[in-house]
Amino acid sequence: MLKKLFGLGRDKAVSGKEEVIQGPTIEYKGFTIISTPERVNGQFRVSGVIQRTDTVKGLEIHRFERSDTLPDREACIELTELKAQRFIDDMDGKIFDA
């Protein structure tokens, strides 16, 4: 159920996206990064989820999707992880403070 709610796992989307297959989960500076490369027109779009559990707020989730596409799923996962890590660094960990 949560997989469908947050777009994780295998799913056919309505907006022209062919499928989303959840990639690996990694930990980075107290955040969990979940790669969700989306197959679109034979390519894989960089997308994923950054989440953390706050003792007061509970589970916080930030979903992101970039315009970058790559022909190789593994390369897409690597780029997704790098972009998520850079975003966490750029935001100085304050992703959910808005």
pLDDT per residue as tens digits for the range 5-24:
444 444 444 345 556 678 88
pLDDT above 70: percentage of residues in the chain: 79
The residue-averaged pLDDT of 51-63 equals 90
Average pLDDT, the chain: 83
Beta-carbon contacts of 95 under 8 Å, excluding residues fewer than 6 positions away, are 31, 50, 60, 62, 87, 88
SS3 content of the chain, % helix, strand, coil (to 5): 20, 40, 35
Alpha-carbon span 32 to 26, nearest angstrom? 6
pLDDT of residue 4: 45
Enumerate the domain spans of the chain.
Answer: 2-90
- Of 5-14, 29-38, 49-58, give the lowest mean pLDDT range: 5-14
